Amino acid sequence: MIGFLSRWWGGGPPAVEPASLRDAARLAQLHGASFHRGWGEGEFEAMLTERNTLVHRLRQGRNVIGFAVSRMAADEAEILSIAIDAGQRGRGLSRDLLLTHLGHLAGRGIRTIFLEVEENNAPARRLYERAGFGVIGRRERYYKQPGGEHLNALLMRRDLS
């Protein structure tokens, strides 16, 4: 019985599954803790109701510990954001989340995926490179930091077919 309760409340293997409107507040919380300009609950609610947006949550037990969001157009998609709870990072969960998310995009007929990543974000760049993304461009001074500094973004691409 204790094992069951442990798995239900926070143990057990992580699961990647479609996010729902009930997840909007938690997704906003995760995004705000992961990025300088976090998206609000209303922004997540809007994305979760759009037909061209795919949102997955990463759940462990009853806890949502991460998410991935992509916007689709024809046979292309752009990954808008991926975030993992700070206490759960470094366990390979973002890789599992990303690869599962990409599989669902492929299942919807997506052939090419794009994303932008901060040039100095080494962990994210490693994640994307290991998942088969390659750098195809650079946006100078794209990300504005809270202190006013501007950082470059790398534009990355992966073909699924």
For 55-79, how does the pLDDT look when each residue is reduced to its tens digit (9 = 90+)? 999 999 999 999 999 999 999 999 9
Q: Dihedral of the CA atoms 95, 100, 104, 105 (nearest 10)?
A: 10
Q: Would you place residue 142 in the very low, low, confident or very high pLDDT band (cuts 50, 70, 90)?
A: low
Q: What is the mean pLDDT of residues 76-90?
A: 93
What percent of the chain lies above the pLDDT cut of 70? Answer: 90
Q: Which of 119, 17, 8, 106 is nearest to 66 (CA)?
A: 17
Check residue 93 and give its pLDDT: 92
Check residue 10 and give its pLDDT: 52
Which residues, 6+ apart, have CB-to-CB distance to 66 below 8 Å? 30, 57, 58, 82, 83, 84, 85, 88, 93, 94, 97
pLDDT of 12 > 90? The answer is: no
Instruction: Please state, in angstroms and as integers, the Cα–Cα distance from residue 118 to each residue in 73, 121, 155, following that order.
Output: 23, 5, 9
Check residue 8 and give its pLDDT: 43
What percent of the chain lies above the pLDDT cut of 90? Answer: 70
Q: Would you place residue 144 in the very low, low, confident or very high pLDDT band (cuts 50, 70, 90)?
A: low
Average confidence score pLDDT of the chain: 89
Answering whether pTM is above 0.95, one says: no
